[in-house]
A and B are shown apart, each in its own frame.
Chain A
């Protein structure tokens, strides 16, 4: 899989459409910026410092939905689509089905995301977390996901003989994402109500993380980590355990989002046990990746993409460990409905998957532009502001959740739980600002890299003459 052997027989230019990779990255970062602004607005509202108070289109309740949807469909989906355009053709040595279809999907997906944002802003949300996408957009998004599968699956299916781990994850993901989106956006909206709709809703929230984001994230880790470290994955057996364990146990977890609801208790127990099983599977995957790093630990200091990846993996292990504990009924009684869960969500979505994507962008952007990063120092700032920011935010909110839970259980007036939360919410704003600053530094660095790149090319032309 090394670049040298690959370029002997296949031209990278014929395989990868670099323009579309960058186009997806730009859209992803734009939506990350939008999402963060929405998050800051809501964080300010909680502190009763909302400069846009009373303006319908800037209602924090609506922007809270933009915050989560822009991350799921704007940032994660766009970035992953870009990364698929890089990794699948290079791994399979076959280009995607049709480059025109790629651009059609790109355009269609931006329309889906923007229409979702517009729908949410004008108060047309659907009542399911991460499924708020207004009902009239759902069929378009569903069609888009079908086209994505049609465009990316042919190169994978053309592979002869056994497939590499990454492709297992990708192949299954195309099926899962399509089915998950259909399940979440149509079943609880049109077919079932009440408690069973809750069960489907739980499955949807969970499968979107577990069967869309997670297989893409880990598939890309299995691709980029060995390439950058220039050594194979430590254990093929553990890779198998990781994939099949995730495939079996992860979809069974959904109901753990609605424990102590009227959903039948035996189903709740089933979800709890499956969640603990997932934690064990995750441990094997983490062991596998740290086994791969063994002997090359210095890379975490020197190589920024590797540092992003392994920071994300540590956070991943922490969130999954936290998950195995918080899913038990004992923990649930205290922490459900509190900021504990909000902290957990930020640790997974930002601390793990967004940081992995930042790492992959850090690796790919200079390769695509054939230049060096403008400022290594700025990359360091991006890393430290983001990693420290999310770590502080998550610990702060997790701790806050405990106090909220105790305040409610002790039957004090509701205002008490607000008063208790206040200092934590202040810390959260500053942690969020740090993450926001990190993103701005990254954007500035990308801009400067682009500007100075042209100068390098000019001087290259000038030199031989």
Chain B
């Protein structure tokens, strides 16, 4: 195991280097490399093609090949120009975007400011409205220049717009799809089943839940660095079948490789694993809002309110062992509830906490819980890689300091009704969060801020963590335009959060792809499939 694994890691490193090299190099080569067909499979389908209906990673992953945002992320996950060529903050609450000229939608319509304004109105009426929340109004300066007014000073507006995809106004009007698809009993829009954007591909054929066929868009304004002209995305729900389809050569790449099958894929001479960091971080959150444990032994007091108990729990959980035993090394332990790729991550603070059971036991004794207590840990069993197994491992770790954890693993649909707002019916839960702006502020406002139903701050602060100092910093970060000062304040906020142990970070997951050796892929941390970078030799 150890030998094969180190070989695997080396392969991994080589793979990553190859990608890093391939991106700048292959651009001039792209014309000489033959156009290729590419087939890949994943566990789930984007269940709508409407870019404004739901904020869902997978929908964006599929649609970003067809529709484009004003600014996009490149292969290194840096922001770059897409449908906008320039953007600047004119004053605290105004951003000006200059739009790219001569861009055509795949139906031949010209792209201009009207489409941007239309897509904003449409997006703000749909399920992605939370992403566009900070924009209060838009003003058309001319056909290729727009100004956004933000509700407050917003230094990171471009980061928030990478998943806001632009739709053609004329197309939507002609097809009666001006309203975004919504989960009520009235709208079934044309845009649900059809996609038409400015992006590198068009959707040639689609059978929802079965397959989606992409064909290259010959009129695309940019050049692909990869050579994939036709791509087919298959939905194969069963993980074993997915792996079989890769090994038998029916597909070139699969998403969501079960960790236990990684070695089997590595062992195949024609295949390799591509394992990159997922933006998502998994953490535990004890309930600090209630005076007792609603699911646990303590009915008159809440042991989690003792800082020493929380510190002891953090020290008792061996994230390294979880990484090795449960995750088969496909996770990276972290010391913060945000990942390394997130703007505001501080390497010193983010180092994982070293387990120390003796110290943890001493802390429990000082807090008066030498004999421990029992509590139910709420977790999912179908949401993240090995989530249920992680839960069991946490329970085993905490048993060492006499905290008897009873894991309650449920399907997400059931789990969510219980722990999510407005009830927050949990005493202790395992959660995961992926900040889609790649910036820490979104984590702070929705998860670390004190819960406030009026403003929506802290809505997903499931454990009800609250520190007025942190709240002040969050407010200040939102208004600060100086990047250095802003980052400093984010670090200060996380210092406080870490000292309070309001969150017990476990790890960052890996995205596991099985890939044929003749295929070079780029694997972004936000789970996208950027086909324009993929190369088949």
Please determine whether chains A and B interact with each other in the same assembly.
Answer: no
